[in-house]
């Protein structure tokens, strides 16, 4: 249980671009990826905006026939995983395949396929449903197809904890490697829920922003005028590796994962605990595992959804954990730029955090104009800020009361 776990590769498909360099460039530019929905006609919906992935062609990442048999969320995962492997400069062979695992989570799975074939059944009868519908829909298929595509035969499972999903995936991969059950794991999350039923359902729950007249400024975490989150999509994958294995093959080590805090509110199906107690437990657990005092943390990548309740509750929890140091702790939300990518959020944001730590630049919370007394933090407003830091925490919270905090440090031999 004392094995060190390092990050040696990063991959991402995001609304800001189709790889990690494009994602990071968008972060540096403080650019919003939110626009009017193009995947269907949103006119009749109260929320008509989203952060979509544009220009993606699954045939660039997998066989065309296999691509047709899989869902968009699976396509994203395959693309991000293959980029992460290239980034890690790691080749899977028959000799090492048993030591390579895949733990990729997803929140809601193939909503697009479900909707399509429900209509097919209504119009033409159940005999016209494709035999591939179940594997198209089920959330574990992202990790399953990735393993098939890359030939990984090690541990493979799919955490599902709503918007905390990929945080859990990365944390559980950390545990698997620490236990010595794998040497390399591709861990992260994927999501493609910008569909009529997806947008309609979240809008019905009054969770989405309806600032349709100005999409680019709709996602505004911690701002007093926030009115809900903006749906995003994409995938993030990290190559996690046993430290000794990484050193033995001469890998470039990008960061070290040193803490994984996890808890449950046991409070409400969608609302976070009002006192922030679950989030407090997760953050304190991550700090304790990392051997860090609160004042030693360099940056906090917040869950920061841009919903009135979440941002207020997360701020309260942060103040309970970090006390007076909160005023000095940079805390920003990438969701202001890429929207809320649900089950993929924690992984994409971990990728951004690692890039930020290596490049010495704090990502901004864009669209921040009106301070909220209940969210009094240094949210790195509107413009990225140069800063050298050697540790950061990434928070992910999900419907059902799931809380995850990951803590990464700059690698030291």
Considering the candidates 75, 303, 375, 402, report the single residue annotated as catalytic. 303
| Most distant pair of Cα atoms in the chain: their distance | 64
Alpha-carbon span 29 to 85, nearest angstrom: 26
Q: How many CB atoms lie within 10 A of CB 335?
A: 27
Q: Which helix (H) or strand (E) holds 336?
A: helix 335-338
Catalytic site residue 268? Answer: no
Tabulate helix, strand, coil % of the chain (nearest 5): 40, 20, 40
Catalytic residue among 340, 355, 375, 402: 340
Q: Which of 106, 158, 163, 375 is catalytic?
A: 163
The answer to whether residue 369 is catalytic is no
Please confirm, yes or no, whether 303 is among the known catalytic residues: yes
Asked if residues 409 and 391 have their Cβ atoms less than 8 Å apart, the reply is yes
Beta bridge partners of 409: 256, 391
Structure tokens at 178: 């620490």
What is the rounded (10 degree) CA torsion for 370, 343, 256, 406? 60
Pair 337, 349: CB distance under 8 Å? no
Q: Where are the alpha helices (DSSP H) in 179-293?
A: 196-204, 243-248, 277-290
Residues designated as active site: 163, 303, 340
């Amino acid at each position: 249980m004392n094995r060190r776990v390092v990050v040696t590769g990063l991959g991402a498909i995001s609304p800001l671009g189709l790889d990690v360099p494009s994602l990071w460039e968008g972060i540096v530019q403080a650019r919003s990826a939110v626009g009017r929905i193009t995947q269907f006609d949103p006119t009749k919906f109260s929320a008509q905006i989203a952060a979509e992935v544009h220009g993606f062609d699954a045939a660039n990442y997998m066989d065309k026939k296999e691509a047709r048999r899989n869902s968009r969320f699976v396509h994203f995962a395959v693309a991000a995983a293959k980029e992460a492997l290239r980034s890690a400069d790691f080749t899977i062979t028959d000799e090492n395949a048993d030591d390579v695992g895949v733990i990729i989570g997803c929140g809601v799975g193939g909503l697009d396929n479900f909707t399509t074939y429900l209509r097919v059944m209504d119009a033409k009868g159940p005999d016209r449903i494709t035999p591939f519908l179940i594997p198209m829909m089920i959330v574990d298929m992202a990790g399953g197809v990735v393993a098939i595509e890359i030939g990984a035969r090690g541990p493979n499972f799919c955490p599902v904890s709503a918007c905390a999903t990929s945080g859990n995936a990365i944390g559980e991969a950390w545990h698997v490697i620490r236990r010595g059950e794998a040497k390399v794991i591709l861990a992260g999350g994927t999501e493609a829920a910008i569909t009529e039923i997806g947008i309609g359902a979240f809008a019905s729950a009054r969770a989405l922003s309806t600032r349709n007249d100005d999409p680019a400024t709709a996602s505004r975490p911690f701002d007093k005028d926030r009115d809900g989150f903006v749906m995003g999509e994409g995938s993030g994958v990290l190559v996690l590796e046993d430290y000794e294995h990484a050193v033995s093959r001469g890998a470039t080590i990008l960061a070290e994962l040193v803490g994984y805090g996890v808890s449950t509110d046991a409070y409400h199906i969608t609302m976070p605990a009002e006192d922030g107690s679950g989030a407090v437990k997760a953050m304190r657990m991550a700090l304790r595992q990392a051997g860090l005092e609160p004042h030693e943390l360099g940056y906090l990548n917040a869950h920061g959804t841009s919903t009135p309740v979440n941002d207020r509750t997360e701020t309260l929890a942060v103040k309970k954990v970090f006390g007076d140091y909160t005023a000095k702790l940079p805390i920003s939300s990438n969701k202001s730029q890429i929207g809320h990518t649900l089950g993929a959020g924690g992984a994409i944001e971990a990728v951004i955090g690692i890039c930020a730590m290596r490049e010495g630049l704090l990502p901004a919370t864009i669209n921040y104009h009106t301070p909220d007394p209940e969210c009094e933090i240094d949210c790195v407003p509107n413009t990225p800020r140069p800063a050298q830091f050697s540790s950061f925490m990434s928070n992910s919270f999900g419907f059902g009361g799931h809380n995850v905090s990951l803590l990464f440090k700059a690698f030291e031999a």
